[in-house]
Chains A and B, each alone.
Chain A
Amino acid sequence: MHKTIDQINGRIRDGSARVVTAEEMPGIVAELGEEGALKEVDVVTTGTFGAMCSSGAFINFGHADPPIRMERIWLNDVEAYGGLAAVDTYIGATQQSETREEEYGGAHVIEDLVAGKSVELRANSRGTDCYPRRTITTELLLENVNQAIMCNPRNAYQRYNAATNSSDRTLHTYMGTLLPGSGNVTYSGAGLLNPITNDPKFRLIGSGVPIFLCGAQGMIVGEGTQHSPAGGFGTLMVSGDLKQMSQDYLRAATMTGYGVTMYIGLGVPLPVLDLDVVRATAVRDEDISVDILDYSVPSRSRPSLRKVNYAELRSGTIDLNGEEVRTSSLSSFRRARKVALELKTWVEKGTMQLALPTRQIDPLKVSKPMHQTTRGPRVLDIMDRKVVSIGEDEEIRTAAQKLLKGETNHLPVVNGAGTLVGIVTTFDVSKAVANPGKAHLVKDIMKKKVITTTPDEAVDIAVRKLEQYNISALPVVDPENHVIAILTAMNLGKLFGGRWLK
C-alpha cells in the first residue's frame, strides 16, 4: 500500500488527516505495526530548536531622498553586508556589535526587529551621479522595511557531535562551557524529533518543501552549506518571512568566549507515503549516535572519546572512562516539542499543506575540509634553537650565571636523563636570592608544571598557550620530552616583515 501526496492533502483539506509528531511515531509503530501505522498516520511533524549560527536575513529598506547606494551599513552598530547595491543588505546572526561586542550581535538585531523594537540604520557611501547621498541615519521598525527575508545557509543539522574537555582548564566554546578534567559533556540536537533524522535518504525533504521556520511558514531552499549526509551530518538551507516570525521560536544568544549565535525553531512536516517513510519516522533516540569529541585538542580532527546515543545524553549522565559525567543540552527539547506540536496544529487545521521536493537533495554528499595552498607558520619556523638548559641538581647561583651569560629569562630544567622536568625564570632566581631560605638547588625553586610546545605545532596554537597561561616562553620538546629549542615572545617578532605576512 502507498498513499499519494494528493490523497494526503485531500485529507488535510477536509480535516480528516491523522497528524502525529515524530515523538509519537515509535509508539504507534510498536502498537499497530508498520502496515497499521501507514494506514493510520498521514503526516509526521518534526521539530528542532537550537543554536544555528549560520543564519541571517536579507532586508530591503526602500529608497531615501535624495537616494543613497549604501556601501557600509550598520544596524544598531552591527555591521551588515554592503555588497548588494543601493538599499539591500544581509545581516548575519554572528556578526558582533562594534560597541557591545559579544553581548549584542546580528542575532539580537533580528530578534529586536521581530519583537517590534526600533533599530538604528546607519550607512555611508561615496556618492554617485545617480545616488548622490553620502550618509544616512534613521530609526526603523520591521513594518517600515519592504522585505525582511530570513535566509539561513546552514540550519537543521541532522545531529551534532557531543563535546567534552580533558584539559585542566575550563574551555568556552560554541558547545558551551566545558569543565576541566572532562567535568561535563554538552550536546545539541532534538534527537528523534530532528527533521533530517526522520528522512535520512532525503525522499521527502528537498527544495520547495514547506516548513515551520521561527513561527512562520517558510520553505526549504535546498541542501545547506557543509551538507555531509553520508556521515550523518546533513544540513538545510531555509528561508522564511521575518515579518511572520515570533520571538517564541527565534532567540539571540551568546556563547561566552565564542560569541553571538541565534536559536532557531524549525520543523518539517513529512507525508507518510509508504512503508519506508513509516520505518524512517519510527526512529528513536537510542538509534541516533554521535561521538563525544575532546575540545581540548585545538585541531580540526578532534579525538573521539566514545560513541553515545541521544537517549544516553538526555538521561542526564553518561559513563566516561569509568566515571559518571553530567550532560547538558544546548538546544531545547521542550521547544523542539513545541515546534512539532505547533506544526501538527497547522496541518490539522489545514493552514499548511504538504508538497514533495521540486528538486532532490543529494543524500550521499561528503563535505571537504578547506583546500589550503599555504600552511601557516609553525613553531619550528621561528623557535630559538640555541636553548640553554640547566640540571635539576645544580645550585641556584649556577642558574643565575647561566641566565646572565645566555641573556635569557627562562631556563628549562632537565634531569640526569636529559628530559624536561621543570623551568626556572629570572623571577624565580631573584626571589630565591632576595629571600634566602632553605632552597639551594634549582629543583627547590623550579616550576614543575611546564607548558611546552612541539616543532610541528602551529604558531597560533603556541601563542594561545602563552596568552592563556600568562607566560612568555615555551620549551620546544621532541616526543621523548628532550628540550630541543625554546619559543619566547621575542621570537614572535620574526613573523612580522617575513614571508608569513604575504
Chain B
Amino acid sequence: MKLLVTFSRKKGRKPIIAQVVRDTGVLINVERAIIDSSEGEALIEVPDDQCRLVSDTMTGLGAHVRILDHGISVNESECVDCGACISICPREAFSFDSEYRLRLDEEKCVLCGRCVDSCPHRALTLAL
C-alpha cells in the first residue's frame, strides 16, 4: 500500500519516518521525497496489513497521511496506444503487450506525474 505523507517542519525537525520505523518496527520503503526547510512530502510504501499502524503512528506525530489506492490512471477512451509515456516513466510502469496495447503496472507507479504532460492525448491523470 502506498501512503502520501506530508509534514510541516516548523515545529522542530522531528525525524518522523525514522521514528515510525523504530516505534512500529515496520520497514518503510521511501519511493519519492521532497523535503525543504519548511515542509516535506514523501511517498512511502508499506505492507498492506501494517498500513493502518503506520498511518496512525505518523498522524500521532503530526504528519498528514493519505492512503493512495491508485497510481496514475489511464483513460482508455482517450488512449490510442501510441506509447509516448513508455520511455518517460522512471519506474518503467508502462509497456506494450504482444498486441501493442498499452499496459500499466500500477504497482510500479510512484505518482511522480512526469507522464501526464508527455501524453499527447491527455489520457493520463494523477488522482491526487
Binding site for B on A (CB under 8 A): 49-51, 103, 172, 176-177, 179, 183-186, 251, 253-256, 261, 263, 316, 325-335, 337
B46 at interface, CB cutoff 8 A: no
Q: Say whether B82 contacts A185, CB under 8 Å.
A: no
A337 in contact with B100 given A254-B122, A328-B88 (CB within 8 Å):
yes
Contact mask for chain B residues 83-116; partner A; CB cutoff 8 A; 1 contact, 0 none: 1111110001001100111000000000000100
When distances are taken between beta carbons in the complex, the residues of chain A under 8 Å from B28 are: none
B117 at interface, CB cutoff 8 A: yes
Q: Say whether B120 contacts A185, CB under 8 Å.
A: no
A251 in contact with B121 given A330-B82, A332-B81, A337-B100 (CB within 8 Å):
yes
B8 at interface, CB cutoff 8 A: no
In Å, the complex CA distance between A256 and B115 comes to 11
Q: Interface size bucket, B side?
A: 20 to 34
B125 at interface, CB cutoff 8 A: no
In Å, the complex CA distance between A18 and B12 comes to 77
When distances are taken between beta carbons in the complex, the residues of chain A under 8 Å from B87 are: 179, 183-186, 325-328
When distances are taken between beta carbons in the complex, the residues of chain B under 8 Å from A176 are: 84, 118, 120
A261 in contact with B120 given A179-B87, A326-B87 (CB within 8 Å):
yes
When distances are taken between beta carbons in the complex, the residues of chain A under 8 Å from B82 are: 50, 263, 329-332
Q: Say whether B118 contacts A333, CB under 8 Å.
A: no
| 6 further contact pairs, Cβ within 8 A, besides A261-B120, A328-B88 | A253-B120, A263-B120, A263-B121, A327-B87, A330-B83, A331-B82
Q: Say whether A334 contacts B99, CB under 8 Å.
A: yes
B68 at interface, CB cutoff 8 A: no
- Would you give 25 A-B contacts (Cβ < 8 Å), ordered by A? A50-B82, A51-B120, A172-B117, A176-B84, A176-B120, A177-B84, A177-B88, A179-B87, A183-B87, A184-B87, A251-B121, A253-B121, A261-B120, A316-B95, A316-B96, A327-B87, A328-B87, A329-B83, A330-B84, A332-B80, A332-B81, A332-B83, A332-B100, A333-B81, A333-B100
For chains A and B in complex, what number of residue pairs have CB atoms within 8 angstroms? 74
In Å, the complex CA distance between A179 and B117 comes to 13
When distances are taken between beta carbons in the complex, the residues of chain A under 8 Å from B122 are: 103, 254
In Å, the complex CA distance between A69 and B81 comes to 43
When distances are taken between beta carbons in the complex, the residues of chain A under 8 Å from B114 are: 177
When distances are taken between beta carbons in the complex, the residues of chain B under 8 Å from A253 are: 120-121
Q: Say whether B83 contacts A328, CB under 8 Å.
A: yes
In Å, the complex CA distance between A327 and B88 comes to 9
Write the chain A residue with the least CB distance to B88.
A177
In whole Å, how far is B56's beta carbon from the nearest beta carbon of chain A?
39
Write the chain B residue with the least CB distance to A325.
B87
When distances are taken between beta carbons in the complex, the residues of chain A under 8 Å from B86 are: 316, 326-329
In Å, the complex CA distance between A103 and B120 comes to 10
Write the chain B residue with the least CB distance to A336.
B100
When distances are taken between beta carbons in the complex, the residues of chain A under 8 Å from B121 are: 251, 253, 263
In Å, the complex CA distance between A179 and B82 comes to 18
Which of B81, B82, B84, B86 has most A Cβ within 10 Å?
A: B82
Q: Say whether B84 contacts A263, CB under 8 Å.
A: no
In whole Å, how far is B80's beta carbon from the nearest beta carbon of chain A?
5
When distances are taken between beta carbons in the complex, the residues of chain B under 8 Å from A330 are: 82-84, 120
In whole Å, how far is A267's beta carbon from the nearest beta carbon of chain B?
16
In Å, the complex CA distance between A353 and B116 comes to 43
Write the chain A residue with the least CB distance to B100.
A334
When distances are taken between beta carbons in the complex, the residues of chain B under 8 Å from A51 are: 120
Q: From B80, B84, B96, give the contact of A186 (CB < 8 A).
A: B84
In Å, the complex CA distance between A334 and B118 comes to 19
In whole Å, how far is B75's beta carbon from the nearest beta carbon of chain A?
12
In whole Å, how far is B68's beta carbon from the nearest beta carbon of chain A?
24
When distances are taken between beta carbons in the complex, the residues of chain A under 8 Å from B117 are: 172, 177, 256
In whole Å, how far is B23's beta carbon from the nearest beta carbon of chain A?
40
When distances are taken between beta carbons in the complex, the residues of chain B under 8 Å from A177 are: 84, 88, 114, 117-118
A334 in contact with B81 given A253-B121, A256-B117, A261-B120 (CB within 8 Å):
yes
10 closest Cβ pairs, A-B complex = A184-B87, A253-B120, A328-B87, A326-B87, A177-B118, A334-B100, A334-B81, A256-B117, A329-B83, A332-B82
When distances are taken between beta carbons in the complex, the residues of chain B under 8 Å from A185 are: 87
In Å, the complex CA distance between A379 and B88 comes to 35
Write the chain A residue with the least CB distance to B101.
A334
In whole Å, how far is A123's beta carbon from the nearest beta carbon of chain B?
29
When distances are taken between beta carbons in the complex, the residues of chain B under 8 Å from A103 are: 122
In Å, the complex CA distance between A261 and B101 comes to 22
Write the chain B residue with the least CB distance to A257.
B117
In Å, the complex CA distance between A347 and B64 comes to 62
